[in-house]
Amino acid sequence: MMLRFSSAGYAVLFCLLCSLLWGLPRTSNAQDAPPKREMRGVWIATVENIDWPSSRSLTPDQQRREYRRMLDIQKRNGINAVFVQIRPAADAFYQSDLEPWSKWLTGQQGKGPNPPYDPLPFLIDEAHARGMEFHAWFNPYRATMDSVTRRLAPNHPYRQHPEWFFRYGGQLLFNPGLPEVRQYITQVILDVVERYDIDGVHFDDYFYPYPEAGRVIHDEQAFQQYNPGNLKLADWRRQNVNLLVEGLHNSIRKTKRWVKFGISPFGVWMNQSEHAEGSATKAFQGYSGLYADAREWMKQGWVDYILPQLYWSSNFKAAPYPTLVEWWSRNHYGRHLYIGQGTYRMLESTKADTTWRNPRELPRQVRVNRSYPTEVAGSVFFSSRSVMANPLHTSDSLRQNLFRYPALIPTMPWMDAVPPMPAQNLVLTRAGSVVTLNWQPGSVAKDGDLARYFVVYRFAEGETPSPDDPRHILALVPKMANQASVLVDTSARAGTEYAYYVTAVDRLHNESTPIRVTTLGRQAEVIVAQAPEPEVPPTRVPTAPMAPRTSSPIPPRPSVHRPETTTTKTKIKTKKRRRGGFFQRIFG
């Protein structure tokens, strides 16, 4: 027999149940809490040594020290993801049998590091150790930054297949109209997906080249040979890009189902004056200028996130930042929408957009993003060096205010909606004001995933336990291989009672139900406060709604300080999770 409630009755019952389930009085709320789930990323550009390494002449030890320092600073800034350029121009910042070592890594293209090492595992591991996602950034079509071919390494693809390229604007570029080019680029990227533990594959805005006056793209032969549908030239070029995007998306998903694929297109798709569905802007257009139909990629579900580069201020008349955020919020078709923001603009002395001289501009843009809580899922800043420079004290503003509390990465239910199993065998020890928690990971979830890290929440007497308020996140603790997890809370106050909740999170940031223990000596228990674990949805769901924004970077495991006071540890038995019945009807 089903119980019937009015809407008001459901609200009262929900609040009562939450209070009972979390086990403490309901005296506060999370209404004004910052988002618990939010992408907070930086691009780390390697081309021309923009961000890392700062010089082509650094030794491997110097490169590693510089990268660690960069990540440490960005972690303090609240960053939870890095987008690292590992293939800037048909070259490699990793050991590759397909393309040469990058000259921006070693000073000479084709020359490996000395002493030898593969930088990519190091780059990935250091990011993961700080709780950051690692997105491998590829430039798909650029082959050189100049037209001088004599300095190209013997294994550069131009040496093997010069017919694959055309010259434009003083550069060599792969011809997107050739099927063999699309196959080769896919092969290069899948080689990285297969061999390295990356979290995402990322493209920037360079597809067909930015047009230059008086220059022509010489792809006439490919247009005649590979155009069975007799498309117009512009439509044919867009189709070439679409074929690469669609094919690569499908190949990545077949290779590793958890690796995300995202693109950072030019910030304006089309102006409204030229397309009824365009934005109220008067700017260059990615759709017609670069043959990049970002709207189509999202509509078809070929990308997992879109990251438009909105490097204009709120007052820039041709392309105002708020106008474009609003347009993209209506046109992302259920895929994640992150906004690319130009922190480097605050280091310029341009007179074209003086609003960037206002220290409030970048924080204002972050708040604009957050004014679309279910549509805009975060920010990514270009580039890392400009954020580290703390222009106009903007990084201070992020660290001390907007990014003060941790944020988990938003989930992607079309990729994985199955949470990991809860932690188990939770042990609490208290010695004066110091509380030590020990626990072990749960078993394998039904989709084969294990916990990647754990979230520890702490609530004092009189505070409302809530899983949605990041201000109560004490720490995010990486799972340690073959070890129990440990957290030592040295900020607890003597004489104050606390409830601690521990959740497990998988690599796609699905969060388990919490396991709870209190300093009052209550038995630890799994809290059944959510619907049963959903079935894995189909892989391609272009119109799937975005997951609620409730997530953050995963800081490294807090240092374990063990108090000298001797205490007795009590192992807490974990109750088995129950299903069905009253809770399932209410929360399911």
Is a pLDDT exceeding 60 seen at residue 539?
Answer: no
* pLDDT interval class at 528 (50, 70, 90): low
pLDDT in tens, 293-318: 999 999 999 999 999 999 999 999 99
DSSP reduced 3-state for 211:
coil
DSSP string, 128-167: HHTT-EEEEEE-SSB--SSS--TTS-TTSHHHH-GGGEEE
91 versus 17: which is more confidently predicted?
A: 91
Percent of the chain with pLDDT over 90: 79
Q: How far is CA 404 from the centre of its chain?
A: 18
DSSP reduced 3-state for 83:
strand
Beta bridge partners of 517: 500
What is the average pLDDT across 493-522? 93
In CATH terms, 39-401 corresponds, of 3.20.20.80, 3.10.20.30, 3.30.1180.10, 3.50.50.60, to 3.20.20.80
Q: How far apart are the first and last CA of the chain?
A: 16
Which residues touch 99 (CB under 8 Å, ≥6 apart)? 87, 90, 91, 92, 155, 156, 157, 188
CA distance 363 to 546: 24
Is a pLDDT exceeding 60 seen at residue 23?
Answer: no
Amino acid 523: pLDDT: 58
What is the average pLDDT across 110-133? 97
What is the average pLDDT across 251-275? 98
CA distance 51 to 44: 6
Amino acid 522: pLDDT: 58
pLDDT in tens, 1-13: 333 333 344 333 3
Which of 522, 526, 525, 515 has its CA nearest to residue 570?
522
What is the average pLDDT across 115-119? 97
Average pLDDT over the chain reads 87
For CA atoms 392, 396, 398, 402, give the dihedral sign.
Answer: negative
DSSP reduced 3-state for 321:
helix
DSSP string, 229-298: T---HHHHHHHHHHHHHHHHHHHHHHH-TT-EEEE--BS-S-BTTT-TTSBS--S--HHHHS---HHHHH
Percent of the chain with pLDDT over 70: 83
Q: Is it true that the peptide bond before 115 is cis, omega within 30 degrees of 0?
A: yes
CA geometry: angle 356, 360, 363, nearest 5 deg:
105
* pLDDT interval class at 483 (50, 70, 90): confident
Q: What is the pTM of this model?
A: 0.86
Residues of the chain with CATH 3.20.20.80: 39-401
Asked if CATH classification 3.40.50.150 holds for the domain at 424-528, the reply, yes or no, is: no
Amino acid 534: pLDDT: 41
Count CB-CB contacts under 10 A for residue 350.
9
* pLDDT interval class at 350 (50, 70, 90): confident
Residues of the chain with CATH 2.60.40.10: 424-528
Which of 18, 118, 123 has its CA nearest to residue 67?
123
Amino acid 336: pLDDT: 98
